[in-house]
Structure 1
Amino acid sequence: MTMTITYRARMPLVAIALGLVATPLLAQTTAPKTTASTTADADVRLRKVEAEIRALQRKVFPEGAGKTFVPEITPGQTTATVTGTPASSAISDVLARMEALEAQLMRLTAQVEDGQNRAAKIEERLAKLEADAAPATVEPVASPPAVATPAVPASRPTTSSAVPKPVATTPTKPATPSAARVAAVQAIEKPATADAGQDEYMYGFRLWEAKFYPEAQQALQIFVDRYPKHKMISHGRNLLGRAWLDDAKPGTAAQFFLQNYLADKNGARAPDSLLYLGVAMARLKDNEKACGAFTELAANYPQEVAGRIKTQYDTARASVKCK
């Protein structure tokens, strides 16, 4: 009887002991599951953040190695610990690394945004500078026809300031020719060769030689206008001036002489035009400009003055008193 009671009395004690033992075992079996799950989630987050940082670093530093940021946590570096405390758990290290990577990602993102903002401002300033540097459109201004002054050969001295600038005069309209004059002009034959420019010049020369000056002026003007590059253009412009000078219109003649001289100072009749320019100014009673033309002629064409046009030069020079 006593043994039975003792056995039954101990049964609750055994059950209580088993219960106490089972509780820690249950806690030990469930705790690792919770820790593993947390570690897996943190590891997934960590790999995602590391992948994003690598992608961001490739964008910010396309040149690769040597251009990345120093990680917040390096091998062997740990968070601040107190001597004597146990080492932190694996989950604590992972969370610390993840927080450091997230902070680094934020800094990289801010730098990218700052770089994009700077690039946008630079492009804006560049566009403004290009717009300011663009040349303004200038409307062409009509100007009266003029002949450009070519460069004077270095071998010849120049006294261009002495060249007179005659006052422009309006040519008078020629009177209606008589029937006899018309018949006489028609009797002058116009050449017809393969060189149309030469034919036009020779026809004007024949009219001038026959003293039909208005008709010669018209023919020579056609030659000058139609054939400005012809080999006889210097002859044509000079003869046109002679036709006006011989027609007692020295003001108009002077313009053509000056034009021919300035258009081509190396032209075949440039010295002649300068000579007759002086003659025209002398007829206009402008001795100063006449002397200037003769001085220019002697300075630039000494060989012509001493040779081919010596007689004409001496006669014209003697007609005026120069200082």
Structure 2
Amino acid sequence: MRRLGVLAVCLALASPALAQGNAQSLASIRAELGALATALEGLRAELIGGGGAGLVAAGGVGALARMDAIEAALVRLTAQSEALENRINRVVADGTNRLGDLEFRLCELEPGCDISKVGATPLLGGGAVAANGGGASGAGVTGSAPALAMSEQADFDRAKAALDAGEYARAAELFAVFNTTYTGGPLTADAQFYRGQALQAAGDVAGAARAWLEGFAGAPDGPRAPESLLMLGRALADLQQVPEACAMLTEVGLRFPGAAAATEAGAMMRTLNCQ
């Protein structure tokens, strides 16, 4: 039967799709696997309902054996997709918890920082936030980039102008207000990065480290992520938190091997004698 061949081809295409997270989500892959399983059951019922003549036309008992093999492969692929989803959820939860713990440490180093007011850590990869030190249930689904809100670009430019003019304290405040006003907007990562620069220039290294940490946690795969992680590592080194600095700098190379920030991170690791 031609349908049996088509089903086998679809199954063959489904397997490599498990490794193509950018093209398809795990949810869509599992939905496809479920559809294939349903199609297989329908084909089996049609084959058996056709009687002996239908079975012979499909290739004899070998056709049923091939269907059994396809069904077994579907079961394996479904199990693999579930295991992969669980693994991703654990990685996201662990990474989010680590960032939350680091934010608490930075708050302890920052003069006047109230630990009780440290907010929830943004879930790595987007989605809902997770309480600092607590687990995350899974990665959120990111959509298309949001459009700029009214006055968003003007407010951003005002803060950036203050930074360029050397008004570091004012720039840090303006960027903080910007991030509160336009949380999750398309300029948020840039605003957090520049806020870190402003705080560092104003002498608040711990505050700068927190800004870069928050910027990276909010968009761990965004265009500012390599620089934010690099600057976070540098700030931690300035704060004499060398083991944590080395860990962050190592992450730059692992996550962004082709970025210029990775080269800088490698040089800094050699200076710090990171193991």
What TM-score comes out, normalization by structure 2 length? 0.47
Greater RCO, 1 or 2 (C-alpha within 8 Å, sep 6+)? 1
